[in-house]
A = this chain, B = another copy of it.
Amino acid sequence: MTDARFDILGIGNAIFDILGHIDEAALTEHGLVKGSMRLVSAEEVVAVDNMLTEAIRVSGGSAGNTVAGVASLGGRAAFIGKVADDEFGDAYAHDMRRVGIEFRTTPLKDGAPTASSVILVTPDGERTMNTFLGASQQLTVADIDTDLVDGAAITFLEGYLFDPPAAKEAFRAAAERANASGRIAALTLSDTFCVERHRADFRAWLDRGQIGIVFANEKEALAMFETTDIEAACKGLAALVPTVVVTRSEKGARVITNGEAVDVPAETTKVVDLTGAGDLFAGGFLLGHARGMAPADCARLGALAAAEVISHFGARPQVHLKEFAAKAGFPL
């Protein structure tokens, strides 16, 4: 739609990340599953944080990273997510607005603090996340700014927000509204454990025909259908959703649009920290889609954005992706 004020509206957990390096042995010792996201209490955040000998703090959250990528690529982006009325919440809002993202969700007062995630990065660049949802899980239907949903070509929802029941309701409302307004709702399955927790709900929701684009990595796609056959998993998703995007790390991505599949290779780059790779891939893909690009080009733009973010520590772009994309032949 050409009348959209925003290319992408992201709705997700507004999380302040605490990132540090850790060795494989320490992960194993603490019984943590590499590459996963687990939900923890405020006390556990402190305990995991204590495993680190250095830490940087950056704004994060899956859909938040995605829209930061969209903005960095030169797209018009908005975000809905719940921070608390505290310093980390202020910093989060500041980081959104500094890149031009429309962010006006009312902060939570007198409740839980802003969400934080301790992200342990192993020498291979993999990240293991320990997330305290805090204020972010207090997102409700009342926070779904219908003006933003109506004005965005695509409303992008992160599967992680299925964990808090009120947020799940907010998600349904946002997707319904997007569809009613002739817009597209997109969803990422987020994480294999997230799929395990919400398989039936995800399935039922995809079955209702409200999701126009679904993102999954290989493991999430397999978990969704409890299979080890990736072809079967791709077909399963394609039977439910018009556009399916399955990311396969260094093997690239497969896009299936109305039954037609295309494989796109990954961009080669030095891997420092995989945090945000999937989020930024989604950002590039979605912006391409909102701008009417062919599926393979959408995936290439996604791969480009992902490559930048895994080449450094942290899940937000450190260069203007717009210039990066222009050099690669994508004028945005």
Contacts of A91 in B (CB 8 A): 57
Pick from B50, B72, B98, B312: contact of A55, CB under 8 Å = B98
Contacts of A52 in B (CB 8 A): 98
Q: Does A94 contact B (CB under 8 A)?
A: yes
Q: Which of A236-244, A261-269, A277-285, A316-324 contacts B (4 or more CB under 8 A)?
A: A316-324
**Cα–Cα, bound, A153→B124 (Å):** 40
Q: Describe A's contact surface by its main secondary structure.
A: loop
Which bracket fits the contact residues of A?
A: 20 to 34
Q: Is the CB of B318 within 8 A of A54?
A: yes
**Cα–Cα, bound, A317→B319 (Å):** 24
Contacts of A53 in B (CB 8 A): 72, 98-99, 320
Q: Does A21 contact B (CB under 8 A)?
A: yes
Quickly give the copy total for this chain: 2
Within 8 A of B (CB), among A76-96: 86-88, 91, 94-95
Pick from B54, B87, B317, B320: contact of A86, CB under 8 Å = B87
Q: Is the CB of A56 within 8 A of B57?
A: yes
Contacts of A113 in B (CB 8 A): 87
Smallest CB gap from A312: residue in B: B313
Type the 1/0 row for A51-72, where 1 means its CB is closer than 8 Å to any CB of B: 0111111100000000000001
A-B contact pairs, 9 of them (CB 8 A): A21-B319, A53-B72, A53-B320, A55-B98, A56-B58, A57-B57, A57-B58, A87-B88, A87-B113
Which residues of A are interface residues toward B (Cβ below 8 A)?
Answer: 21, 46, 49-50, 52-58, 72, 86-88, 91, 94-95, 98-99, 113, 312-314, 316-320
Beyond the given pairs A53-B98, A87-B88, A312-B313, 7 more chain A to chain B contacts, judged by CB atoms under 8 angstroms and listed by A's residue number, are A54-B314, A54-B317, A54-B318, A55-B58, A55-B95, A56-B313, A313-B313
